[in-house]
Amino acid sequence: MLNSRLTRLTLSSFALLAAGAAHAAVPGPDYVLSPAHSTLTYTFTQAGGANQGVFNSFSAQFDPHAGALTVVIDMRSFDTRDAQRNTLLGGAQFFDVARYPQARFTATRLSKTPSGFIATGRLTLRGVSHTVSVPFTWRALGRGARELQGKTVIDRLAFGIGQGQWHATEWLGNSVTVRFALRMVPAAH
């Protein structure tokens, strides 16, 4: 009888622990991207003039409590509004979208600043990863939606963007400014 009670108690405890562990499992992001209301652009200098491109397909997840932000960009979705330039940028000397179809920023630390926040994490672009810090603001839009907005500057050559003759900065600047306005909505759990 004691063994029977002990077995039932042990099984009950195990069931409660398992249920608790399932409930305590990573709940997922607090916010996910609303793609139709979000933009991701980049500005670069070519032959002394400013040029702009956009990424038309990307996703984002943000858990402000854990300081976790992940942005995944479909590199094949870029567009500079110039077919010849798009062909060149998508090729092996630049984005090499056939070999590297995605870029990813994964932040694991958030820091508060006087004007907003800084997300620090790894940016992987064209198969190369570097730690970067991205400043942003986080403001309420209403109905639970929020906007994560900011900009950062990356050095294209640090990520291998610009091979061969394009490694020089005489005609194509090294600095690329990335701007984002991401509308984030509460995630369904």
Q: How many residues does the chain have?
A: 189
The model's pLDDT over 11-59, given as tens digits with 9 standing for 90+, comes to 333 333 333 333 344 555 799 999 999 999 999 998 889 999 999 999 9
The model's pLDDT over 94-129, given as tens digits with 9 standing for 90+, comes to 999 999 999 999 998 999 999 999 999 999 999 999
Q: Residue 118 is which amino acid?
A: I
* pTM, to two decimals: 0.83
- Tokens 């759990």 belong to 189
Fold assignment, 28-186: Lipocalin (2.40.128)
Question: Does residue 146 register a pLDDT over 80?
Answer: yes
Instruction: Retrieve residue 24's tokens.
Output: 């305590």
| Residues above pLDDT 90, as percent of the chain | 77
Backbone angles phi, psi at 178, to 5 degrees: -110, 125
What does the alpha-carbon distance between residue 171 and residue 122 come to, in Å, rounded to a whole number?
A: 28
